[in-house]
Structure 1
Amino acid sequence: MSSSSEINHGGEIRGFPVKCECGLRVKPYLSKTQENPGRPFYRCITKKDGHLFKWVEDAVCEEVEDAIPKIEIIGRKLTNTITEVDELKTLIKDLKEGVARSEMEIKKWKALMMLCFVCVCFVVICIAFLMFGKAMKSKSAFTSM
């Protein structure tokens, strides 16, 4: 997580350093002292006193410390997202059930409309037969005179 390497806190560069405070590059070295043989550190390429010097394990520790709050934020966002997904799944399920109920209701209304249509047709046919029958009687009454 080298993103925190550019963070400067009161003159201290946190995390993995890229540049010294003087603006020059920082380079990794291995200690050759008796107290810290082979211990890795970062140092300004000028190697002058007062310029950046940092042990690698300190940089790693700072990177982890700076990453923990970001990871916690991501964790909270992930938890919120999972909750939202669960709510959306429930909403989708409810909507599907509503669609199924609506489809059943539409089928019932179609059947009722078909029944009404048949009834209306039957009534129209009955009325037509009654009127045709009366017309035939009237016609036969006029023809018999």
Structure 2
Amino acid sequence: MSNISGASSGSSTTRRGRVVGVPTVCWCGAQIVGKISKSDPNPYRRYFRCAFAVSNKLMDDNHVFKWVDEALLNEVDRLSSEAKRLEQMVRESEIVFDGAEYENMVFDKVLMKVKEEVFEKVESVVSESKRYMKKLMIVGIAVCMIVVGLENFI
């Protein structure tokens, strides 16, 4: 069983160039759809195709066509090289990362924690003061009512 179809060998070339990875939109703006090949050279092989080209049954055109297995391999290769690049960046940043930066980071974390604790304590003192003031006001009102009541009685 051959992996090569008559018109396209799997590397999809469009007017905009070769599609790398999993295509999402064709150069014409149409969405990409997944299809299954019914050809003799590639029976039941899955591929991506431009929805416009599919709906108009276009053949040998410049719209996106890409085998799914090749698209996924491209995507894995791209992600692998991206992971290597990010890994290298992390290694380089570890080298540049010196003790002063670490101390500043620790200081900032401790400072943030202290600020949070102070804020929580201030909040609790304020709420406790509000409760105390309410009690004082109730007692004051009660005393005023008693005084007014006694004045009226005498």
Normalised by the size of structure 2, how large is the TM-score?
0.45
**Greater Rg over alpha carbons, structure:** 1
Higher relative contact order (CA 8 A, sep 6+): 2
Structure number having the greater helix percentage: 1
